[in-house]
Amino acid sequence: MIEELVTAGAATASAGALYVMAAARVVKQYERGVVFRLGRLLPEVRRPGLTLVVPIVDRLHKVSLQIITLPIPAQEGITRDNVTVRVDAVVYFKVVNPSDALVRVEDYRFAVSQMAQTSLRSIIGKSELDDLLSNREKLNQGLELMIDNPAVEWGVTIDRVEIKDVSLPETMKRSMARQAEADRERRARVINADAELQASKKLAGAAQVMSEQPAALQLRLLQTVVAVAAEKNSTLVLPFPVELLRFLERAAPLPGAQEAGASPASSGQGATVATAASAGEAADPEALAAQARELAGEFPPGTSGDVVRQLLEGLGEKGVPGLVGERAVSEAEPGTPGTLAGAEGEGEGEERTDAEGADGSGDAPGEGGMRG
């Protein structure tokens, strides 16, 4: 009797152990269990931990509540401003109602993926290229709303949607690069022009101050010479007033006077007088001296101004017609009044003419003056 009871107890314990082993299920912390009993959904959702189901009768489906990362394949479309682009994105979603996720949709992952691709193509067609490149936050919010509306019925909520990359054609990339380069060049030119405007104002103020204090210009010239001399080179800086060149150009002889001075005399004293008269009209000593004194008065007082005034007054008093152009001093008649060469060779030319006339030579007096 006792043996039968022991055997029956052992059999019952074995059956209970087998039943527990067949009915026991473990639900993890991030999961929820949905039980179907004979094909019908039980309203109670099994919580994490150890749970028991009826073997053969119940079916337990575990649903993860973790956030799922679902990449969206690159979608090619045409924007509202007719630009072909390829856009890919990523969707973050999670299940909030395990029962709806199993009952209302066959495969909620695949459903969310297809809805995301369709919404991405739609958002590409409604947006412009600039919005895709610079205003992505707004597009992400719009794309999230488009995917989340139907997903709510599936027991799924969209956490966020992010556009990862926007691929442009190579021609469009080159066009955008040229546009950006042109814009940067425009800004650089505007900045340079503004800098030149400010510098011109400062230079104008500096010129006004130097005009009031002539010694400042001399000091600036000395600073420039010191700066050039500091370098190890063979550069020679020689300041030369531009007004002196202008005076010499205005004092150059006329072409008629040069031709008259260069042509030989045909007969003795008459040709010499005519040559002297024409050369005197071309370069009047009194006029040149007055012009030199007038121009010398324009220079400010100082070392450079005193030197230029002395040089101009000396040239005017000697009657030098010019030092530039065709070397009028060397080519003029020695006997021409009002010239430096004429002043030096006047006596010598008359002596040679008298001597040659006394000897009976056939040379004209004008030729003797030219040789002198």
Task: Write down the pLDDT at residue 226.
Answer: 78
Q: Please, is 32 exposed, middle or buried when counting C-beta atoms within 10 Å of its C-beta (0-12, 13-18, 19+)? A: buried
Q: What is the rounded CA–CA span in Å between residue 360 and residue 114? A: 129
Q: What is the pLDDT of residues 71-113, one digit of tens each?
A: 999 999 899 988 889 999 999 999 999 999 999 999 999 999 9
pLDDT the model gives residue 275: 38
Phi, psi dihedrals of residue 162, rounded to the nearest 5°: -130, 130
What are the residue ranges in the chain where pLDDT is below 50?
254, 256-283, 303, 318-372
Q: What is the pLDDT of residue 236?
A: 67
pLDDT at 242: 67
Amino acid 94: pLDDT: 93
- This prediction's pTM: 0.50
Q: How many Å apart are CA 371 and CA 349, to the nearest integer?
A: 8
Task: Of 371, 175, 369, 154, give the one whose Cα is nearest residue 272.
Answer: 369
- At 261 the pLDDT is 46
Q: What is the structure's pLDDT at 302?
A: 52
Provide the pLDDT for residue 288. 61
8 A C-beta contact, residue 63 and residue 32: yes
